[in-house]
Structure 1
Amino acid sequence: MPHWLDRLFGREEKSALSSRLIALTAGTRSAWSPRALPAMMQAGYARNAIVHRCVRLTAEAAASVPLAASDGAITRLLDMPNPDQSGPELWESLYGYLQLAGNAYLELASLADEPRALHLLRPDRMRVLAGPTGWPDGWEYAAAGRKRRFQRDRVSGRSPVFHIRLFHPGDDHYGLSPLEAVGRALDLHTAGSDWARALLDNAARPSGALVFKGENGQLSPDQFERLKAELEASHTGAANAGRPLLLEGGLDWTPMALSPAEMDFTTARREAAREIALGLGVPPLLLGLPGDNTHANYAEANAAFLRQTVRPLVMKMARALSVWLRPWSVPDLEIRPDFAALEEAGEARHA
């Protein structure tokens, strides 16, 4: 079974190279990020502001583009896909999953061979079933301990599942998640937040050293434990920042300043944020990251985002939907996006 499927269902990989982890500091315990798909989406979208904003910005912009089909019934299906979701809600989720997982899926519900509803399927629950020739012949969806199988009709060419994926140079059936490409930058940016929080928890300032200047230079075990307990109880945490430290005889406090490498950590985190934005196709200027923040540059960045990221993504979706729905509709079915609304939104944002 391909290694991607092992990551998809959370199976442990034996290869040391497959984890693709990065150690952030030397001489300390390494901080790793899991690369299983559900954990990767959780660490990226739910716990990182840069990834969250990039995905939402792209998904909302792409979902705001109406899709019109040459068949009126298909146009109504795209606009009102199911009783629980409107068109923009469904497409926003679909674009979001495509950016997070590199794959997105829809299920088509039909009655009397006529399309009636579209439902979203989570990519971390899907598995491609390859046929004798190696091409996808079906799909398996696992949820709540149960599995459903969808088969492609080879005679009519109809498929109950729509699968769109991003380009992956090393996999025949699944797309490459952009979070894989920005994984190292994501680790670095998240670790920067953890480091800043740890610095705040530890008296909100760089730590220091308590030096015992007694005869043998060592505290007894009871003295050591008592001193440690007092420091943790009364001199750590943001609420205790700046509280004076009362030392007994023989003890001296030696503060430790930040090294140049530690002082540069903020810059490294900022560059990691820019790399994440680059990998997800969003100009850093639109995220409020420091840089050339002028009015002209912002307008150009917004135009580039719509032209280079949103438009190609929507065009790809429209063409893929056309190919998928043709066996269910007229042979020359064509779905076209209406970019007028997107251009008006871009002009309003520029103004």
Structure 2
Amino acid sequence: MSLKTALESLWARPEAVTADRSQEAPAEVKASRTGPLLAIQGQAQPVWSPRDYAALAREGYAKNPIVYRAVRMVAEAASSVPLTLFEGEHELDTHPLLALLSRPNRLEAGGDFLESLYGYLLVAGNAYLEQVAVDGEPRELHALRPDRVKVVPGPGGWPEAFDYTVAGRTVRLAAEAAPGDEGVAPVRHLKLFHPLNDHYGFAPVEAAQMSLDIHNAAASWNKALLDNAARPSGALVYGAGDAVNLSADQFERLKTELESGYQGARNAGRPLLLEGGLDWKPMGLTPKDMDFIEAKNQAAREIALAFGVPPMLLGIPGDNTYANYQEASRAFWRSAVLPLVARTASALSAWLGPAYGADLLLKPDADAVEALSSEREALWRRVGAAGFLDDDEKRLAVGYGRKVQEPPAGAEA
């Protein structure tokens, strides 16, 4: 029965509603006491994001090389980390959930799908995943563009739906599975912590927005400087006789000749021919004027800091925090990549696990990360030398389960 039909039948027979209410006790409903306050923002109306995702993506990822490289480094590294699936304490080698993540849809492989997911999180602070189910089991996963999705809060203040809008057309997607449906919610919203917003996450590029503007402005200044022969060349001083200024025609003629014959990289170093009365006064930039270069590098370091990428890995000069490249690489994986993968794996487990009717948990396999191999070898040496531990305790200490005992030969299964 559709929702419209059900409402019409209740409207036609109000006594049935009264009788049912008198015979049945109200069911207990668990809910937050503070949640309804969020509904003040407007029930069943989209809560618009307080920032312009398109501008952040354009000025940051599409225009700034530091943001672009930082996002690509984190997203590519995170998508390369294998995910292991556990049911309780037992690791599963094969499972429909693992197959789904390795091939989420017919257009993307698992790595491409996860790279899009991590990229959206880093640029927008939000990522939205849609699952397509068949007979209650997820068969496809799709990453939705964050700027096309708006959160729709329910009467309790928490999200009850998501509006996906493209070219003026909007589709509403439920935030929870339908009552009585054993499947999972059609959409999962992943977001980074935002202290001032109840519904949207906070993007790292937003925290670095001032540094981003400084870096972009410095690049534009450099480009304009190169277009003007790479430096403020000098000044032409007119001192012919008692004349104070050039006439308007003389000024325009001189300006046109300089622009056409002596400006630009193609004409750099070309000798300047002057007529009588014109004197050339060379000019240059003082060391104080050159501080903008250090300001640009400082802005680049702050952008890298917002994304958790060591500046050394981005080729930014003036940073000697780490002793060598390998140490910086390990810090990058430990502080920026693995925490992001772990929280995403946990969210995917909580979202998709119930569809398979088992206690499933996805975890990142840090042992497969080549950059952390030296740490892994050091751990194995320490645990292997611990004579007070038995084999099972050593396996547990390095992240493996207890060894499965093989039945003796000839024993019944």
Q: TM-score range by the shorter chain?
A: 0.7 to 0.9
Match among 153, 169, 181 for residue 146 of structure 1:
169
In 1, the alpha carbon distance for the partners of 2:316 and 2:118 equals 24
**Paired residue type of 1:200:** L
Q: Could you tell which deviates more after superposition, 164-173 or 299-308?
A: 299-308
Are 2:130 and 1:87 aligned?
A: no
Could you say what the CA RMSD is over the residues aligned between the two structures, in angstroms? 2.2
In 1, the alpha carbon distance for the partners of 2:266 and 2:232 equals 15
Task: Give the deviation of 1:336 after TM superposition.
Answer: 1.7
Give me the TM-score of the superposition, normalised by structure 1: 0.85
Q: Are 1:205 and 1:241, in contact at CA under 8 Å, matched by a contact in 2?
A: no
Are 2:363 and 1:336 aligned?
A: yes
1:1-351 alignment runs, 5 A limit: 5=48, 7=50, 36-70=52-86, 72-151=95-174, 152-153=176-177, 155=179, 156=181, 158-214=184-240, 215-291=242-318, 296-342=323-369, 344-347=370-373
Decide whether aligned partners of structure 1 residues 242 and 100 sit closer, same or farther in structure 2, where only a CA change above 3 A counts: same
In 2, the alpha carbon distance for the partners of 1:345 and 1:259 equals 44
Decide whether aligned partners of structure 1 residues 67 and 136 sit closer, same or farther in structure 2, where only a CA change above 3 A counts: same
Task: Give the deviation of 1:5 after TM superposition.
Answer: 2.2
Cα-to-partner distance string for 1:245-278 (whole Å, 9 max, x where unaligned): 1122222222232134321111111111111111
- The 3-state SS of whatever aligns with 2:244 is coil
Cα-to-partner distance string for 1:198-221 (whole Å, 9 max, x where unaligned): 111001222322222243421111
Decide whether aligned partners of structure 1 residues 6 and 207 sit closer, same or farther in structure 2, where only a CA change above 3 A counts: farther
In 2, the alpha carbon distance for the partners of 1:142 and 1:109 equals 18
Q: Are 1:100 and 1:178, in contact at CA under 8 Å, matched by a contact in 2?
A: yes
Give 5+ residue unaligned stretches, structure 1.
9-35
**Paired residue type of 1:5:** W
Q: Are 2:47 and 2:153, in contact at CA under 8 Å, matched by a contact in 1?
A: no
Decide whether aligned partners of structure 1 residues 6 and 168 sit closer, same or farther in structure 2, where only a CA change above 3 A counts: closer
Cα-to-partner distance string for 1:115-153 (whole Å, 9 max, x where unaligned): 100011001111011111110111011113321110123
> Aligned residues, how many?
320
Task: Give the deviation of 1:301 after TM superposition.
Answer: 1.1
Give 5+ residue unaligned stretches, structure 2.
1-40, 88-94, 375-413
Decide whether aligned partners of structure 1 residues 102 and 78 sit closer, same or farther in structure 2, where only a CA change above 3 A counts: same
Decide whether aligned partners of structure 1 residues 52 and 242 sit closer, same or farther in structure 2, where only a CA change above 3 A counts: same
In 2, the alpha carbon distance for the partners of 1:315 and 1:231 equals 61
Task: Give the deviation of 1:54 after TM superposition.
Answer: 0.7
Structure of larger gyration radius: 2
Q: Could you tell which deviates more after superposition, 251-260 or 169-178?
A: 251-260
Q: Are 1:64 and 1:341, in contact at CA under 8 Å, matched by a contact in 2?
A: no
